Amino acid sequence: MNAHSLALLKQAVVKNRPVLGQILEKDGQKPLVKYASSYADTAYDVSREKKQQLISAVVGRVFELFGSEKAESIGRQLEKSYFASTADHHGPLVHPFFLGSNLLAAATNDSFGLENVLVLACGNVSLGNSSYPRGLLMHGSAKAWYRLPLVPSVWRQSAVFRHPAFTKSDLLRLEQKLANDRQSALLQESGFAGVLGLLRELYGNSAVLGQNYYSDQISLTNYHLWRKFFPPRQPRVPDLIYLQMEDIVIRLLLDYHLSASTEISSLFFDSKTRTAVERYFSGIPGAFTADKRTGTFLFWLLPPGGRHRLQLWSQGDALVAADGSYKVALNSQSLTAALKRGELIPNTMLSLLVLSAYHGLKCLGGFSQVQYLTSLHQAYAKLFGSPLPSAHGQGLCADFMAAFVHGNDALMPATGLDLALGRNEDAWENFKLTVAGLTLEESLLPMFPEFYKMLYPHDRQDSTLAGITPEEVMDFLNVKPKIFSLGDLI
């Protein structure tokens, strides 16, 4: 790899994601932690009423999961700093995709005196997604990925949303897998003992096993797993409040939109608005493509007794399944009942319009979200004639490479379990040193080889660009001297 091929790689990625290119042009040379200090900057002056409605919904959900003290804390924080990450998939906080971004948010929030990292994670994602929301992920004895599935593979096409909780029997199955893998040398002895201990302590306690849904178990276990990343003697690190985004959206719909006249309710109840939605939003990722019948119109269907999502399309004054097997009238009573039964999942478009466009929450995301959220805001402005500031949709908080551990004499992207089991006394301080030394561009460019493969089908890829690896980019940029390891693989 040379400067020319890296320039071509960068050009190809930002051509497909121009908002990412704008962010790099403006802020690429800033230290990563300085760039992240802009998370709390809000460009959208939303009304007090709309802001309070969203804060009330979040506080209510936090109270249900974590009690009054944390609920009060998150309420105070949102009054002061009205933003959250919507970058994550709702699963165990183990994948490098999401670990580094939340560590960065913690470092930033800590410097502003904020007590929490608030994540509204997407539950409308398949359990079999490559981010592995269905289980635990770490480096095994061969330094390759080692997976421990909390949810069996038979459900990998199901969504996280409303998936049933794992049980004691599921954990016993995993304990047997751990024992077998130790015997076959897939897992070292230290790794076996550490994971077994975490499995029993965090995932096998009565509070977690008493939940009805997998998503609620993840919210609880991620809170405590996060605390395992930092030694007890470490100065207090902000807590991780990890909620399922769709739970907040549904609560807002039920409490403030389905029984009132709002811009959001007009998406459901006004036929002219729905026609305009089909025109303005078709083709935007996270929404739908009307002519190709991809995505879904406003909601995904989770059929009664089923586990797999089905598309819904607007027909007259109803939403109808593509195969005709389900129909829900577009009126307040029918939508309220269907949402309470758990049959409807807000799609990404609807979720972000509710949270960001209407209630004004600054939603931080990854390299794709900054593009499609900007497009959603532009379509919303066309629909209702009220432009949103461009900066409101362009908060980049994910897809950085900044959290690493040592293994096989090389730096490797850290997983949550790597940190929890390694418990390096200096991990937190080392991470803060890393994000103070790396620039935004230096932390993003090593991910461009992966972005390129995501954005371009195989038959449209240039073989030279497709052959570039993250390690080659890191070496070319000479960033490794700026990276302080968070520990050693066990």
pLDDT tens digits along 100-127: 999 999 999 988 899 999 999 999 999 9
| Cα separation, 137 vs 145, whole angstroms | 7
| Average pLDDT of span 201-211 | 97
Q: Which of 299, 332, 364 is nearest to 37 (CA)?
A: 364
Element (H, E) at 407: strand 404-407
| Cα separation, 352 vs 4, whole angstroms | 38
| Average pLDDT score over the chain | 94
The predicted structure's pLDDT at residue 140: 75
Element (H, E) at 179: helix 168-183
Could you tell me the pLDDT band of residue 231, with boundaries at 50, 70 and 90?
confident
* pLDDT tens sequence across 306-347: 888 999 999 999 999 988 999 999 999 999 999 999 999 999
Q: Is the pLDDT reported for residue 289 higher than 70?
A: yes
436, 103 contact by CB (below 8 A): no
| Cα separation, 487 vs 426, whole angstroms | 8
CA distances from 232 to 118, 235, 237, 387, 430 (A): 22, 8, 10, 47, 16
Q: Is the pLDDT reported for residue 209 higher than 70?
A: yes
Could you tell me the pLDDT band of residue 423, with boundaries at 50, 70 and 90?
low
Lowest mean pLDDT among 8-22, 150-164, 326-340, 402-416: 402-416
| Cα separation, 178 vs 439, whole angstroms | 40
| Average pLDDT of span 136-156 | 86
The predicted structure's pLDDT at residue 44: 86
Side chain identity at residue 145, one-letter code: W
Q: Which of 249, 270, 255, 246 is nearest to 49 (CA)?
A: 255
Side chain identity at residue 38, one-letter code: S
CA dihedral of 346, 67, 419, 198, whole degrees rounded to 10 = -100
| Average pLDDT of span 17-43 | 94
Please indicate whether residue 490 or residue 276 has the higher confidence score (pLDDT).
276
User: Which residues are within 8 A (CB) of 425 and not within 5 positions of it... i.e. 6 or more apart?
Assistant: 231, 233, 234
The predicted structure's pLDDT at residue 142: 59
300, 309 contact by CB (below 8 A): yes
Quote the Cα angle for 236-239-245, to 5°. Answer: 165
Q: Which of 329, 339, 375 is nearest to 257 (CA)?
A: 339
Could you tell me the pLDDT band of residue 233, with boundaries at 50, 70 and 90?
low
Instruction: Estimate the crossing angle of helix 369-384 against helix 18-27, to 10 degrees.
Output: 110
Distance between first and last Cα of the chain = 32
The predicted structure's pLDDT at residue 234: 66
Of all residues in the chain, the percent with pLDDT exceeding 90 is 83
Strand 362-364, strand 83-85: pairing: parallel
Side chain identity at residue 124, one-letter code: N
| Cα separation, 168 vs 156, whole angstroms | 20
Could you tell me the pLDDT band of residue 141, with boundaries at 50, 70 and 90?
low
Could you tell me the pLDDT band of residue 409, with boundaries at 50, 70 and 90?
confident
Tokens 């919303």 label which residue? Answer: 380
Structure tokens that stand for 24 in this block: 């790099």
